[in-house]
Amino acid sequence: MSRIINIGAAQMGPIAPDESRVSAVNRMIELLKQAKDRGVNLVVFPELALTTFFPRYYEEDISKMDMHYERGEMPTPECKPLFDKAKEFGIGFYLGYAELTEDGHRFNTAILVDDTGKIVGKYRKVHLPGHSEYDGKRPWQHLEKRYFEPGDLGFPVWRTMGGIMGMAICNDRRWPETYRVMSLKGAEVIMLGYNTPDVNTSAPEPNHLRMFHNHIVMQASAYQNSCFVIGTAKAGIEDGCMLIGGSCIVQPSGEMVALASSLGDELITYACDLDLAKMGKETVFNYAKHRRIEHYGIITSQTGVIEPPLDEAAE
């Protein structure tokens, strides 16, 4: 019997710094209504979907950024209408937001809510990009390392809504370890939201490579881990900073089966047959049969590169 789940990537256009949570949530509810009309079971919203991408602003005193974080348990009063509408529609969702815990820790977080309105999972971004101090050489700051701690929950997966689901956030998608850890736990769907500026402020490269890299990492990883990858952008010009769109749904073959065509609020959907993921896991990517872990130890015992010694005789 096939296991088909209709998944939507709910791309959002820019969120201005002064746009309220209520407004952002209303936009998400509009996307949810479209999702209901299209028979969608699960919707993936972007990273930091309730606010502007605030790590682009430097603030000496981090507590002055508290207004961008959600405190206490979800749903907060501003988010409750989103939870209520999703429950009424019987639609699950992934929501990215900045989390400030009771004891003062700050994380870039995503939660997974099932189609009955229950929060089934939480993920905190592991691979934080950018820098922690003001960098005058950059046209835009990317201060995630200032405003967030690396996630402390690992890469869990959840058996829910008929499949095995995992979450990642933005920069995580560039790291093969992200997907492999989850696929070793059987992940059939990996959901991720992102905010990716079109200019790489860390290294000079032509702008078109931003979209190329965005898609190549998700497509290659979907194939190598035999899973669906749902990538949802916050897109367009946000307070003068251009964020790439390109939200997409990738199937386990690595093929893109849905792609956003705008830089605004837009829902793309695909009926994902989770048995396609299972098929890859039982054949080419049957890990139990083919992985050679005796050669992989370096992946977890070492971070930086250690090159072989120079051959001095040849110098």
- Positions annotated as catalytic residues are 47, 125, 170
Site residues for ligand CDV, window 77-116 (CB under 6 A)?
none
3-state secondary structure at position 147:
helix
Q: What angle do CA 193, 197, 199 make, to 5 degrees?
A: 150
User: Under a CB-based contact definition with an 8 Å cutoff, are residues 246 and 209 in contact?
Assistant: no
End-to-end Cα separation, the chain, in angstroms? 64
Q: Which is nearer to ligand CDV, 50 or 277 (CB)?
A: 50
Confirm or reject binding of residue 124 to ligand CDV (CB under 6 A).
no
Q: What angle do CA 276, 278, 280 make, to 5 degrees?
A: 75
Which one among 17, 81, 129, 254 touches ligand CDV, defined by CB under 6 A? 129
Q: x/- string (CB under 6 A) for ligand CDV, residues 44-63?
A: ---x----------------
Confirm or reject binding of residue 226 to ligand CDV (CB under 6 A).
no
Which one among 170, 229, 250, 272 touches ligand CDV, defined by CB under 6 A? 170
- Residue 284: DSSP 8-state: T
User: Quick one: which H or E segment has residue 278?
Assistant: helix 274-282
User: Under a CB-based contact definition with an 8 Å cutoff, are residues 101 and 69 in contact?
Assistant: no
Q: What is the DSSP string of 183-233?
A: HTTT-SEEEEEE--BSS-SSS---THHHHHHHHHHHHHHHHHTT-EEEEEE
Q: Which is nearer to ligand CDV, 202 or 261 (CB)?
A: 202
Q: Which is nearer to ligand CDV, 168 or 276 (CB)?
A: 168
Confirm or reject binding of residue 176 to ligand CDV (CB under 6 A).
no
- Taking the complex as a whole, how short is the minimal distance between the CB of residue 27 and ligand CDV, in angstroms? 20
Q: What is the DSSP string of 54-106?
A: GGGS--SSGGGGGGGSEESSSSPTTTHHHHHHHHHHT-EEEEEEEEE-TTS-E
Which one among 130, 245, 246, 280 touches ligand CDV, defined by CB under 6 A? 130
For 79, phi and psi rounded to 5 degrees? -90, -15
- Taking the complex as a whole, how short is the minimal distance between the CB of residue 7 and ligand CDV, in angstroms? 21
- Taking the complex as a whole, how short is the minimal distance between the CB of residue 129 and ligand CDV, in angstroms? 4
Number of residues that bind ligand CDV (CB under 6 A): 10
Q: Which is nearer to ligand CDV, 122 or 174 (CB)?
A: 174
Confirm or reject binding of residue 171 to ligand CDV (CB under 6 A).
yes
Given the rule CB under 6 A, which residues bind ligand CDV? Answer: 47, 129-130, 142, 170-171, 174, 194-196
